[in-house]
Structure 1
Amino acid sequence: MHINNVPPGEVQEQPALSQPVNEVAAGIDIGSNTLRVVVARCCSEQIEILAVDERLVRIGESVNATGAISGEKQELTIATLQQFRALGEKYGATRIFAVATEAIRKASNREAFLAAIQQETGIEVQLIEGEVEATITFYGATYALPQREEQPERIGVMDLGGGSTELVLARELQIIWHTSLPVGSGVIHDRYLTNDPPTSEDLTAARTFLANFFQDIKQKDAPPILLATGGSANVVHLLAQRAFGHPEDQLALTHEDLVRCEGLLCALPAEEIAKRYQIEPKRARILLAGVLIMVAVLERFQLEQIEVSSYGIREGVLLAYARYGEQWLAQVQQRAEQVSQQLEKQTEEGGREGETFAEAGRRVILDRTEKMLEWRDAVIESEEIEAVHKMRVASRRLRAALDAYEAICKPKEFKKVYRQVKILAGNLGLARDTDVMILNMQSRLAEADPVEQAGLDWFIEHLKAERQRYQKKLSCFLSALDHHELRRQIEEKLFLKEDQHG
């Protein structure tokens, strides 16, 4: 099967940073419930799928229970990834790209888990944020759209995972809104539906939670078409076929279809469901939670049906690689951040009903201060790349807000606050830029000849030493920074009184 789909969702078209690729590669998704792999030939911004496989491991089960990935789940994951590597090698894959999502993001021992994977399998796993996950999933889930006779102007994608649900809205295949929500089939099952079959009290609690949770989503512009991807969505589609004679080539599931599936899953134990309809027992146990989430989303957006896509993040990874080559992840991160910035800007420019310029400025500056300071402890305590990156982005956004709303601030207090934020942003930038350089040098090691490898090894060690010095400087600055005083200074001293505004 060929997938010819230049990744959509870009704020503006930009040229690829590297030459188009032409090779066989494997894309792996380490999800909260399922591990999946697709092996495909990547060529000229398209992929030709050669093989697929998946295993239900339920990493999120142990994370939901203890906050950490258990030894058993780690062993299952490593064994599965070794099988996936062998499958890729069978078809001549020269590259393996693996991404990990919500359950691993939440796990307290995620660094040790990812290090063990690399040591045992040789696979480097990229731990991606929810917005990046949503963007990559959109790439994969929408691959078939160009084949339609009539192109929808607006479309939505829902990635129903075990630990999170990603929602994306697009207009003319350009992403205009996305969000990642910490609600998935595994989470809802482990929290509310542990009885088998569930009691009426279980169902009431789960439905009430989901209705209230999705009601808080601010997006009002519902798409006429919503694509659902992920293991639960595809198995629900399979259940509808086997239990109710749903046509195999009919990808839509109506609200009525989902309600019928819900009734069946409530009436029978998971073991009976698995036996009758040839569904994996582990999957059968969490399937009701997936149905409840799908129903809640349909009702929130007042849609009559949902279309199921068997493609998602693993295909999206390879489509991004086919387009951007070595810089695929950096390009996706950039595009996800651009959408986030656009949404934030639209919110700020739109303001709130009856809100003055000064009121909007005060709200934006205070909000961005909180978002920057929430990463303080994580940056002080470790050299975690993502924490430094997130705090740097937040500091830059706060500086931009200060620039925009300087007119509503007291000049003397403004200079004090601005100077502190500028120094912090500079220190974060030194650390972040060094992190990026280290990653780039490490990516070149595999393809370098022995002589060049020796030079790269020396340079990487030099960069790591520099990074440690930057980290020490950064930690000292943040430790000395009285963040409580900074908050108070901004909230109580920074802004001019209403009658002082020009």
Structure 2
Amino acid sequence: MSKRVAVMDLGTNTFHLLIAEGMINNYHEIAHDQEPVKLGEGGINKGYILPEAFERGIKTMQQFQEQISVNGVQQVRAMATSALRSASNGRDFINEVKAKTGISIEIINGDQEAGFIYDGVKISGCLSTQNSLIMDIGGGSVEFILGNADHITWKQSFEIGAARLMDLFHRTDPIPPASIEALDVYLQDNLTDLFSAIEGHDLDTLIGSSGVFESFATLIETEKGHSFNLKTTPTYSFDHEELLIETNKIVQSTHLQRAANENIIPVRVDMIVVASLITRFIIHKLAISKVLMCTNSLKEGVLAGMLD
């Protein structure tokens, strides 16, 4: 009888719960929940979880525990990433969750996070024998992994997530050209390790792992009048020109325009702007012509280890 497991990815913006059973290459999803906790709201660059966000996080973990109990889960892993890693009261949050739910949260470092993201993308089958650059844009950090279907060549996590960049650069809406310029300079200064790692490697593809890349794909397809379902589209190949046009539209849009678009989930309404700018920066800087979206990410990577 197959084991039923639960994985939680406790991100800066969103807490995810995935309950599944079976074999990793053919698992059955029992439950998949995501809650817009916004743990980093108002405090992400101060290194502190504000009381309202702290409370939202605790309530969500209690809801997750109820689902875990109802579904008879045998093994649980809860992974905390950038916001809890860097918050001075992150340990208080972990202790309170343990006391109220019995769930033990593991704080993983950026290197471990990048490794799990690679494992998640790998089981989707979208990696080839050629080198690809995987990019996962989170609220607190952005992970880059250079590798192929066989192995990782290099990986690193950078504390330049969308919530942090929004707090630093996106204070006026639409975002002004001077802020875009300042953001580009900031990325140029903070991603020198990435540029060094890429040097001398032929890059086949940029693979955007879940999150905002799911929004890009959904927006592009629905604007063409096509129905688009992420559940049945685990990978998606972007038309290069369409992606650049879409990200440009997002950057020039207002908050009200984005909020009125049902294809942008509420937690991404504002962060999608800086996420679009990071994506464009990487495409131009590294002269990338092929971009894929993969719905798998950290939680599927953790799941792979639990079901293997």
- TM-score greater than 0.5 by the shorter chain: yes
> Cα–Cα, structure 1 residues 107 and 52, in superposed 2: closer, same or farther, change >3 Å?
same
Contact 1:164 1:181 in 2 (8 A): yes
| Residue of 183, 186, 207 corresponding to 2:163 | 186
Contact 2:124 2:296 in 1 (8 A): no
Partner residue, 2:306: 321
Partner residue, 2:286: 301
SS of the equivalent of 1:162 reads coil
SS of the equivalent of 2:16 reads strand
> Alignment identity in percent?
25
SS of the equivalent of 2:77 reads strand
Taking the aligned partners of 2:46 and 2:155, their CA distance within structure 1 comes to 29
Deviates more, 1:53-62 or 1:248-257: 248-257
Contact 1:117 1:124 in 2 (8 A): yes
Deviation digits for residues 5-48 of structure 1, max 9, x if unmatched? xxxxxxxxxxxxxxxx9311110001112111111004478633
Counterpart of 1:163, as a letter, is: G
Higher strand share: 2
Contact 1:39 1:52 in 2 (8 A): yes
Partner residue, 1:275: 260
> Cα–Cα, structure 1 residues 84 and 130, in superposed 2: closer, same or farther, change >3 Å?
same
Contact 1:154 1:225 in 2 (8 A): yes
Partner residue, 1:83: 63
Taking the aligned partners of 2:202 and 2:41, their CA distance within structure 1 comes to 32
Taking the aligned partners of 2:295 and 2:15, their CA distance within structure 1 comes to 14
Contact 1:197 1:265 in 2 (8 A): no
Contact 1:47 1:318 in 2 (8 A): no
SS of the equivalent of 2:95 reads helix
Counterpart of 2:20, as a letter, is: A
Taking the aligned partners of 1:281 and 1:48, their CA distance within structure 2 comes to 28
Taking the aligned partners of 1:90 and 1:184, their CA distance within structure 2 comes to 34
Taking the aligned partners of 2:193 and 2:133, their CA distance within structure 1 comes to 18
- RMSD (Å) for aligned C-alpha atoms: 2.4
Partner residue, 1:379: none
Counterpart of 1:294, as a letter, is: T
Contact 2:251 2:277 in 1 (8 A): no
Counterpart of 1:214, as a letter, is: L
Partner residue, 2:208: 228
The 5 Å alignment of 1:285-300 reads 285-300=270-285
TM superposition shift of 1:140: 0.9
How many residues matched?
300
Partner residue, 1:443: none
| Residue of 94, 104, 124 corresponding to 1:144 | 124
Taking the aligned partners of 1:183 and 1:154, their CA distance within structure 2 comes to 24
Higher helix share: 1
Q: TM-score, normalization: structure 1?
A: 0.56
Q: TM-score, normalization: structure 2?
A: 0.88
SS of the equivalent of 2:123 reads coil
Give ranges in structure 1 of 5+ residues lacking alignment. Answer: 1-20, 324-502
TM superposition shift of 1:211: 3.5
The 5 Å alignment of 1:48-63 reads 48-63=28-43
TM superposition shift of 1:290: 0.8
Contact 2:24 2:303 in 1 (8 A): no
Which of structures 1 and 2 has the larger relative contact order (alpha carbons within 8 angstroms, sep 6+)? 2
Partner residue, 2:223: 243
Deviation digits for residues 126-167 of structure 1, max 9, x if unmatched? 00011100111111122121xx7x943333321111111111
The 5 Å alignment of 1:406-485 reads none
TM superposition shift of 1:60: 2.1
Partner residue, 1:373: none
Give ranges in structure 2 of 5+ residues lacking alignment. Answer: none
Q: Rg larger in 1 or in 2?
A: 1
> Cα–Cα, structure 1 residues 122 and 263, in superposed 2: closer, same or farther, change >3 Å?
same
Taking the aligned partners of 1:44 and 1:311, their CA distance within structure 2 comes to 12
Partner residue, 2:112: 132
Taking the aligned partners of 2:48 and 2:146, their CA distance within structure 1 comes to 33
| Residue of 173, 178, 194 corresponding to 2:150 | 173
TM superposition shift of 1:88: 2.9
